[in-house]
Amino acid sequence: MMQLIDLFLEEGYQITFASTANSSERSEDLSKLGISTENIELNNSSFDVFISKLKPTIVVFDRYVTEEQFGWRVSEQCPDALRVLDTEDLHFLRKAREEAVKNNIPVNEANLYTETAKRELASIMRSDMSLIISEYELELLQVTFRVSSEILCYLPFLVNKTSKSLKKTPFYEERANFVTIGNLLHAPNVNSVLRLKKEIWPLIRKELPQAKLFIYGAYAPQQILELHNEKEGFLVRGWVEDVSKVMKGAKVCLAPIQFGAGLKGKLLDAMMHGTPSVTTTIGAEGMQSDLPFSGFIEDDSQAFSNASVALYSQQKLWLKCQDYGFDIIENRFHKDLFSEVFKQRLMSIQTNIKEHREHNFMGQILQHQTLGSTKYMSKWIEAKNR
């Protein structure tokens, strides 16, 4: 979201950030960027008054559930506004894979044709443009679900650093221990930590008895906090203010992710700070394309452990994998590769909004139908609340 905000600021847009969530001490201070913030309510016509006064030229929805709630109101009050859906990742894909793991089904056989898929795909079809963070998901939408490329835009993580500046990281000899990081309200991250504790870390610790694993992530539930064990070197640290510091201090990042979608920010953070990783096929999805991965990709727990020990213990191997990470960032995630294309797509659609929507007539049909069902359900809830 902050990357999107930066792209709009670069083009001189006046930005208003509206959210149903309350700000907290960990929220970004958007006022420092000259961005105004507004609290909005679900199922409340006060949003109609707010948006009609604001008269935005572009509206970005954060994930499909936000578009479901507010898309029809924006369409009614500001019909000429360009509506952009920021998918973050495909939620229906992540949920289908989670369900598959729970039922001991291979994730590549997960049932994608679910109610969540219908809702999210409808949201994508209704929007003028949907931002897709992973090439795997872009192909899935186009090939499996026949979504037109005209309403999709591939926009991955953006790194605005040169290869030379990225390489200014601590040396192998200056680092120690393993690290994993991720929001611990997020089911894939919880599953990953549990797998580390039960299956993988005991195998690594057997080979490296002095090594420690540091687990960082906000909102750790009780079941994760209870895994903390000093004797085992399994250290649950919770939220960390400076990701850069902990990533630069670690020798290897571990991410045994069994299900999920999108791109894994922890792996990008690791590459940016010169920290090789060991992850799974799902974890590495969409990261390296045909480039060598910045570490190892292993799905079996024993193979994952062996790769982790080798990467930790062998300096030449570690340095080679570190360089692979820098290459991936330079060739796959550098900001210059995508920012101008994104801005030009926005301008092109804005200029030809009527024609663009006619080409996506199925989206207009869905907009018409859901305007009715979602609109009147929302009005019923508002009346009930009143």
Can you give the pLDDT at residue 371?
64
Same domain, 112 and 238: no
Same domain, 251 and 367: no
* Domain harbouring 360, CATH code: 3.40.50
Same domain, 193 and 284: yes
Partners of residue 214 on adjacent β-strands: 179, 235
**Residue 20 structural domain:** 2-155+338-385
In terms of Cα–Cα distance, which of 288, 349, 345, 299 is closest to 321?
288
- Of the three residues 333, 355, 372, the one that is the final residue of a domain is 333
Can you give the pLDDT at residue 372?
65
Distance CA 377, CA 204 (A): 53
In the chain, the number of structural domains is 2
Residue with tokens 């935005």: 56
Do 254 and 200 touch, CB atoms closer than 8 A? yes
Which two tokens mark 149? 């490329």
Can you give the pLDDT at residue 379?
81
Same domain, 102 and 123: yes
- pLDDT tens for the chain, residues 1 to 386: 999 999 999 999 999 999 999 888 788 899 999 999 999 999 999 999 999 999 999 999 999 999 999 999 999 999 999 999 999 999 999 999 999 999 999 999 999 999 999 999 999 999 999 999 999 999 999 999 999 999 999 999 999 987 778 888 999 999 999 999 999 999 999 999 999 999 999 999 999 999 999 999 999 999 999 999 999 999 999 899 899 999 999 999 999 999 999 999 999 999 999 999 999 999 999 999 999 999 999 999 999 999 999 999 999 999 999 999 999 999 999 999 999 999 999 999 999 999 999 999 988 888 877 666 777 788 888 888 88
Residue 386, Cβ density class (10 Å: 0-12 exposed, 13-18 middle, ≥19 buried): exposed
Distance CA 95, CA 188 (A): 10
Can you give the pLDDT at residue 271?
96
Strand order in the sheet with 295-297: 234-238, 213-216, 178-181, 252-255, 277-279, 295-297
Same domain, 381 and 258: no
Same domain, 133 and 278: no
- Of the three residues 317, 333, 349, the one that is the final residue of a domain is 333
Do 127 and 71 touch, CB atoms closer than 8 A? yes
- Of the three residues 333, 354, 371, the one that is the final residue of a domain is 333
pTM of the model: 0.92
Same domain, 128 and 229: no
Distance CA 62, CA 226 (A): 33
Helices (H), the chain: 2-10, 46-54, 64-77, 91-102, 115-126, 135-139, 163-166, 187-195, 201-207, 222-225, 243-249, 265-272, 281-284, 301-313, 315-328, 339-351, 353-359, 361-385
* Domain harbouring 292, CATH code: 3.40.50.2000
Q: Are strands 252-255 and 277-279 parallel, antiparallel or unpaired?
A: parallel
Which two tokens mark 239? 């939220």
Same domain, 151 and 182: no
Same domain, 184 and 240: yes
Can you give the pLDDT at residue 75?
93
Q: How far apart are the first and last CA of the chain?
A: 33
Can you give the pLDDT at residue 241?
87
Same domain, 150 and 207: no
Same domain, 169 and 309: yes
Same domain, 255 and 289: yes
